[in-house]
Chains A and B, each alone.
Chain A
Amino acid sequence: MIYLDHAAATPVDKKVLNEMTPYFTEEFFNPSAPYLSAKYVREAYEDAKNRLAHTIGAKGTDLVITSGATESINLALSSFDNILALETEHPAVLQNTKHLTKIKVKSDGRIDLDDFKRKLTDKTEVVSVSLVNNEIGIIQPLAEISAIVREERAKRLEKGLKKPLYLHSDASQALNLLDISASRLGVDMMTLNAAKIGATKGVGALFVAHGVKLQSVIRGGGQEQGLRSGTENVPGVIGFALAAELAKSHLKSNRQKYSEYRQLFLKEIQHHLPDFQPTRPKKVSNTPYCLTFKHQIPTFLPLIFPGVDAERLIYKLEKKQVYVSTGAACAASKGQKSHVLTALGLSDSEIAGSLRVSLGSTNTKEQIIKAAKFVADVVKEEYVRQAR
């Protein structure tokens, strides 16, 4: 198997699994139970939360553990009415509110700061911009965005306006490649996801800076500072903490490795498909290419084969045990056109012919070489069928 969809899911790291296992079978106690054994579980949980928080330069008490990125985003946004979000955000953001204004992206996939400034008003309560886009891996200039948010806050202070303004960022796709510090990025809330870094699905976290007032979405026993009730997912958080630490310790080597893999993949596919371009052509044509951007994490290779039906490529590749995706997995399963590629101005034919290759821990150099050939092969097969 050659798995090229790490942006959708990652296998649980063996070390992570081993760390989690005792908390399923032996140390299974409810951390809120009154006996000593349960207290030890509570301690292990809080310790894990602290370690997880430290990877983004925060304290354990700044984190609310959730059931994943979608819940984190919902918790971050649902207390507010006026939200300003990037048009290329995940549906968890875009579907979240009735009063959502979309900020445009430029052709390089990054936020249009002028458009952002224009749309930022006295009424805006939250700005939501992902650190790394989940479809094409573009990195947004969070520090610049937070500087604009700070300016707006200062203006409100001068005007005597009490309405708070927060910055939320979805960093689900970023933990294993970017050195993230919540304070350095200047975010008030940040969504984290365990499933994308070798921990389990169904575990996420929301970083909430001191002073940010949120209303809980899930009410009950008052866990997680009252913001997210429900018995703590102890093994999930223990696994999440270790996975985040491992990611942090490999940031540099990961970046280097995946940059090499990315170059290799592009070189190989060019070898098999000579008219393939490693970057987006200036003019719209039928030339196949990779949507490469200056600010993009190296694990993402959005491949565009204009005029080809990418779903057909996926079904052909799965027969060869090569797993790739179109766009985001959730949108793809509904047969919807990618709003991210639409925002970048791609034509319908380019969007229909787009594959999302996302590299990760399971990949080797040999796999990259093979996968590039398989992708080129099935594309050529489609060209042949179309010519019939």
Chain B
Amino acid sequence: MSAKPAKTVYLGMSGGVDSSVSAILLKEQGYKVVGVYMKNWSRDLPGMKCPWAEDLADAKRVAVDLDIDFEVWDFEKDYKQKVVDYMLAEFKKGRTPNPDIMCNQEIKFKLFYETALSHGADFIATGHYAQVSLGAGPAAASSPTALSLVGVPQAASPAPTLLRAVDENKDQTYFLYRISDEALSRTIFPIGHLKKPEVKRIAAEHGLANAHKKESMGVCFVGEVGMKDFLKSYIDIKPGEIREQETNKLLGHHEGAIFYTIGQRHGLYVGGGLPYYVVKKDLIKNILYVSKDLNHPALWTTELELEDVIVRNEGDVFLREFGARQRENQRRTPVATGRADAARKSISPSLMVRLRHRAPLIPCEFDGHKIIFKEPIKRPASGQSAVLYIGKVCVGGGIIK
């Protein structure tokens, strides 16, 4: 080891293979690694067992194996306030929120980041499939030399760049687009340059007990039982009518309108024939309107209005297109760096949007508020996020109105 004292990295460890391999890689790179299990949710709900105790044991086992420090940080109160309450409020409004995005914004890359710094961390790290590059704009980042910088922050820079993972199939930048520049500039994604099979191989080579652990999917605390049962124990849900949009004919009953999203075709209990799609939710009367018409206008759109828009990478190609206006806005309103709140014009030929985790990238235009598509797309649920990319670079996004 060099004479310089090792930099300290606080690594979020979940007990899964991705964060475990992250710990191995960071240690190999000479960092002093402190593994942290974030205890966000430990309540067992009726019919579902939260796996936190086992996850914690798995994470700790890996830390002990690697002979690194390990701590448990209790974020339950904050998680409930910032993530669960947000999620419930959104559902009550008839929207379909994405709690993972909120968890990254408020917990992992805010509370965890700040706590780590106060413990003396130089960097934080997570096992996300994503890459970060400091001081390299999208043009540079798309060249192979710049990409070699990716993974480990090279120097302090006001404009870190968030890039999709090398493993496009596993890329998690969809969940990360809202994290702050400040946190990102001190974040390491140790496995962002690896493909999943390589990650598994490293885990197996090191004899990690959790190399073959089943991957956790979706929201951690909702676990195996699913969102529906989770919501049932928090929100009063009343059954209501399902009616055909065109004829107003009563087709059946639903368990609660908030469970359904526009465009959904499953679970309507109306039976037989062509499938029905939800085209309208009347939350006041608790009526779900459905249609057999796959071409129903409610199911398709050529534009999406966004709110709470985040624009990443001040000064990059994306912003240069409409940079003047952006800078003017920032002078007028003391909002956080990178947040765009006024209409802007941006027509970039290479701008792409992702509407769900792992969904294909779709070419689009964006004016700061509205995403415009050349061809109609199936309308995504309101409350979900639209995340924008130029090349590999995540340039921002917003929440669909």
Binding site for B on A (CB under 8 A): 309, 311-312, 315-316, 319, 333-335, 381, 385
A315 touching B53, Cβ below 8 Å: no
- Describe B's contact surface by its main secondary structure: helix
Please give me the residue from chain A that is nearest to B68 by CB atom: A385
B64 touching A334, Cβ below 8 Å: no
Hey, which chain B residues are within 8 Å of A381, CB to CB? 67
Query: CB within 8 Å of A: which of B59-88?
Result: 60-61, 64-65, 67, 69-70
Hey, which chain A residues are within 8 Å of B53, CB to CB? 333-335
Please give me the residue from chain B that is nearest to A386 by CB atom: B69
B56 touching A316, Cβ below 8 Å: no
Please give me the residue from chain A that is nearest to B67 by CB atom: A385
Among A311, A333, A334, A385, the residue within 8 A (CB) of B60 is: A311
Please give me the residue from chain B that is nearest to A336 by CB atom: B53
User: How many Å from the CB of B120 to the closest CB on chain A?
Assistant: 14
What is the bound-complex CA distance between A98 and B67, given in angstroms? 45
Could you count the A-B residue pairs with CB atoms below 8 Å apart for me: how many are there? 20
20 CB < 8 A contacts A-B: A309-B70, A311-B57, A311-B60, A311-B64, A312-B60, A312-B64, A312-B70, A315-B60, A315-B61, A315-B64, A315-B65, A316-B64, A319-B65, A333-B53, A334-B53, A335-B53, A335-B56, A381-B67, A385-B67, A385-B69
Please give me the residue from chain A that is nearest to B52 by CB atom: A335
Interface string of B340-352 (1 = CB under 8 A from A): 0000000000000
Please give me the residue from chain B that is nearest to A316 by CB atom: B64
What is the bound-complex CA distance between A312 and B69, given in angstroms? 10
Please give me the residue from chain A that is nearest to B71 by CB atom: A309
Please give me the residue from chain B that is nearest to A385 by CB atom: B67
Hey, which chain A residues are within 8 Å of B64, CB to CB? 311-312, 315-316
Hey, which chain A residues are within 8 Å of B60, CB to CB? 311-312, 315
User: How many Å from the CB of A374 to the closest CB on chain B?
Assistant: 14
Please give me the residue from chain A that is nearest to B56 by CB atom: A335
Query: CB within 8 Å of A: which of B32-69?
Result: 53, 56-57, 60-61, 64-65, 67, 69
What is the bound-complex CA distance between A312 and B65, given in angstroms? 9
Hey, which chain B residues are within 8 Å of A334, CB to CB? 53
User: How many Å from the CB of A218 to the closest CB on chain B?
Assistant: 23
What is the bound-complex CA distance between A204 and B57, given in angstroms? 30
Hey, which chain A residues are within 8 Å of B61, CB to CB? 315
What is the bound-complex CA distance between A312 and B67, given in angstroms? 9
Please give me the residue from chain B that is nearest to A311 by CB atom: B60
User: How many Å from the CB of A187 to the closest CB on chain B?
Assistant: 35
